[in-house]
Amino acid sequence: MTAQANAAPEGAPEGPLADLVVVELGTLIAGPFCGQILGDFGAEVIKVEDPRVGDPMRQWGRSLPKGLSPWWPVIGRNKKSVGIDLRKPEGQALARKLITQADVLIENFRPGAMEKWGLSYESLAAENPRLIMARVSGFGQTGPSSQRAGYGLIGEAMGGLRHVTGEPDRPPARAGISIGDSLAAMHAVMGITMALHARERTGKGQVIDAALYESVLAVMENLITEYDLTGYTRERSGSVLPGIAPSNAYPCRNGEMILIGGNGDNVYARLTEAMGRPDLKTDPKFVDHASRGANQAELDGIISDWTSGWSLPELLKLLEDKGIPASRVYRAPDMLEDPQFAARDTIVTVEHDVFGPIRMQNAFPKLSGTPGRVRWPGPPLGAHTEEVLVARAGCDAQALASLRAAGVISA
């Protein structure tokens, strides 16, 4: 069961960012995911798109049910779509009007594009000193690599993630999602909230320079320091965490896999009891954390032999009763059926003009006083062009007609 999210609950508080106006000029994932997060928590996000084709995410997807991308309802949610051609001087002038009234500007073009369009931070801040500009790019705004093309996979490679992802006897693997782009977007959001806090004291905005490779490196734990101190280069280790045992994926009788985390001494003792193998608790090879890590492969083999005799549901119940962390490897169908997801409204149902009711992840994290929510899914291209340009750019009917005729804004 999922929560309905197309209407606000009676008396629901506004999101914590409801007083902010955000202009999003980004495309694909890194910039737009930043805008999605801000929109989830109440900001008015004005997404400026190419009036002819819009954000490429509108066409992305393994399949296009009813001719539309399943990506766009999620990453475009809670945003107002305004079609403006930024390559034309008239479009740049419209964008400037919107930006100089905004609190936050998000862009993820190659460094120099905004300056080419006459939209440098310096010129924008001269009219709006409180403006906060989040710039998301592959390599940052400075340095010898700043002008290189840099998609998420390049940031993942340069930040060290690709090298440690996958099986040790195979080439580096992809994480399964565009994690580099998403990490850059989340770091941009962090920078924006910090800059908003600083603006309360100083009255001035600033630039957030979020590079994909640095955003990936930020979550790489002690990878650099461990090498610096010991000379050890972290390598791919598949599903195991080297030296931490037992903590792995194990086979069940029905062909499914179960994840078990039993590496702590107390948890490991409970696991040996559940296995009916109290001898494993006192065996010198497994008696403490260090010995279990040193004999990880042997211990994993013993546990695999045991788990393979159980069905997944039966084993999950046993381990839950014994207080041992364990889980199935979730897919989308599992999430939609799980009572934990339902109890917390982790998945919400949103009404879409073409698809009808569609389900997607809710806004996270949960705030007790001013929670985020999904107010509407990604809108059609240019759906809010007239509304926004009348309200925020001072355009009248004649001006809108002229801009449409010139191809500057959505028809």
Query: What are the start-end ranges of the E strands in 21-143?
Result: 21-24, 44-49, 79-83, 104-107, 132-137
CA distance 247 to 262: 6
* Per-residue tokens: 95: 């964008």
The active-site residue, picked from 181, 209, 300, 345, is: 181
CA distance 406 to 411: 10
Nearest to 217 by CA among 184, 242, 241: 184
What are the residues whose beta carbons fall under 8 Å from the beta carbon of 152, sequence distance 6 or more?
29, 30, 178, 179, 180, 181, 182, 184, 212
CB 104 within 8 A of CB 192: yes
Burial code (b: 16+ CB inside 10 Å, e: under 16) for 134-168 equals: bbbbbbbeeeeebeeebebbbbbebbbbbbbbbee
- Which SS3 state, helix, strand or coil, does residue 275 take? helix
* Per-residue tokens: 147: 């002008």
Query: What are the CA-CA distances from residue 332 to residues 151, 205, 315, 360 (Å)?
Result: 26, 41, 21, 10
CA distance 307 to 322: 15
CA distance 205 to 199: 6
Known catalytic membership, residue 265: no
Query: What are the start-end ranges of the E strands in 35-89?
Result: 44-49, 79-83
What are the residues whose beta carbons fall under 8 Å from the beta carbon of 319, sequence distance 6 or more?
260, 271, 274, 325, 326
343 burial (CB, 10 Å; 0-12 / 13-18 / 19+) is: exposed
CB 62 within 8 A of CB 39: no
Q: Which residues are part of the catalytic machinery?
A: 181
